[in-house]
Amino acid sequence: MSNIPDSLKYTKEHEWVASSATALVYRVGITDYAQAALGDIVYVQLPKVGEKLSADKVCGEVESTKSVSEIFSPVTGSVVAINSELNSAPESINSDPYGTGWLFEVSVDSEPNNLLSAADYAAITA
């Protein structure tokens, strides 16, 4: 059973979204379920700061010893920060997907309403 925190929102593509301390800025990562399915993560390609993202479009990739998986942006907006620590420690996605393994932060124009609750996400991963 994977860890699915109630405080986060989710996508069907296994990304999580968290509100940040700044209004309309959201932190994005991949879920515990996704990192477990991928196995040992060895490389992450992230979007660049300033890049415009569109919801449900590919914005990066995660490479593991098993496969390569695309990262889909859960929201439309501009990248305001990336987790540069992942360049030297991509395995932190495996060890702490909801903490030090976050991927990037996006500034949006309005609250996203296309995301899943923890219960809804748990239902699709069961």
Query: Which pLDDT tens digit goes with each residue over 17-57?
Result: 999 888 999 999 999 999 999 999 999 999 999 999 999 99
Answer yes or no: is 4 within a domain. no
With respect to residue 102, please indicate whether it lies within any of the assigned structural domains: yes
Contact 114, 55 (CB under 8 A): yes
53, 106 Cβ separation under 8 angstroms: yes
State how many domains the chain has. Answer: 1
Tell me, yes or no, whether 3 lies in a domain: no
Instruction: Give which of 91, 118, 89, 93 is closest to 28, Cα–Cα.
Output: 93
In a domain, 33, yes or no: yes
Residue 81 lies in a domain: yes
Q: Is residue 118, in this structure, part of any structural domain at all?
A: no
| Domain with 52 in it | 9-112
Reported as half-sphere exposure (CB side, CA atoms, 13 A), residue 10 has a value of 24
CATH of the domain at 60: 2.40.50.100
Q: Can you give the pLDDT at residue 20?
A: 87
| Digit-coded pLDDT (tens) for 72-112 | 999 999 999 999 999 999 999 999 999 999 999 999 999 89
- pLDDT, position 2: 82
Is the Cβ–Cβ distance between 81 and 92 less than 8 Å?
no
For residue 126, the model assigns a pLDDT of 87
| pLDDT score recorded for residue 1 | 60
